[in-house]
Every structure is written in structure tokens, then in C-alpha cells.
Amino acid sequence: MQVRAIAFWLPKLGNAEHDWEDGCAIRLPRVAVADGATLGVGSSRWAEELVTGYVGREDCDTAPPAPDGMEPWLAATQDRWRAGNAARATSDLARIKLARDGAFATFLGVEVHGLHGGGAPEWHG
């Protein structure tokens, strides 16, 4: 059986593509989506860090999380997000907003098994 995954996305009605503050990443067997909160600061980058970190990134030394290791993975992902945003903060106001408000996202990560053989496929999220 050949398995292929495709992600489709659109910005909210009336918004430009650069206003999209969500994230989606696929690297089978993992799939992740995140809905970045508009009221946060850097939510689009946070959503992207979450999804790419969960499925595994070639440019990152942090391994994708094990089901029982979400807390260390999340802490490392937060550190990477903070470091990137601190470098981008060009004013005192931006640094204050980052420290006070931060970013928010709803996140779902799923690992799918059994796609390439006998037995019924199953997933863990």
C-alpha cells in the first residue's frame, strides 16, 4: 500500500496569506496541526515551532517527543521560540509584549501506525 499525505490551508476570509497564524506539518508517521491565537505575540512562529518540532526537523537537534516525554520536548521548543523572538524584537515595546503576553496555540499531534501492512491502522495523539 502506498500512503501519501497532503495538507491544504487557507487564511481566514478577508485576510491575506501572510496573516495565517496556524501550522501544519507532515512527516509520516507523524502529523501535526496548530491553531495560533491572534491575540498572542509571535503565535504564527509558535504554531510553526510546535508542528515542525513534533514531526521532526532536520535543522533541529531536539528529537520529536516520545509519548511519555512531552514536557522536556515542550520546554526545549519554548526555549527555541523565545530565542528566535528575542532576536527579532527590535523595540522595548516588542520585548515587553513578548515577556508579558507570549504566544498561544491549540496543538494536535498524531502518530499513525499500521499503514504499510496487515492489521488495522491505529493512531495515538
Answer yes or no: is 71 within a domain. yes
The range of the structural domain enclosing residue 103 comes to 17-36+52-124
Specify the pLDDT at position 1: 61
Q: How many domains does the chain have?
A: 1
Specify the pLDDT at position 108: 94
What is the mean pLDDT of the segment spanning 103-108?
90
What is the mean pLDDT of the segment spanning 69-95?
79
**From CA 27, how far away is CA 18, in angstroms rounded?**
24
More confident residue, 32 or 1: 32
Answer yes or no: is 101 within a domain. yes
Answer yes or no: is 106 within a domain. yes
Specify the pLDDT at position 86: 62
More confident residue, 92 or 57: 92
58's enclosing H/E stretch is none
Answer yes or no: is 102 within a domain. yes
**From CA 119, how far away is CA 99, in angstroms rounded?**
49
Answer yes or no: is 28 within a domain. yes
Answer yes or no: is 5 within a domain. no
**From CA 103, how far away is CA 97, in angstroms rounded?**
10
Does 87 have pLDDT greater than 70?
no
Among residues 77, 2, 59, 64, the alpha carbon closest in space to that of 31 is found at: 64
Answer yes or no: is 42 within a domain. no
Specify the pLDDT at position 29: 85
Please state the pTM of the whole predicted model: 0.79
Does 61 have pLDDT greater than 60?
no
14-49 pLDDT tens trace: 888 877 889 999 988 889 999 988 877 788 889 999
Answer yes or no: is 110 within a domain. yes
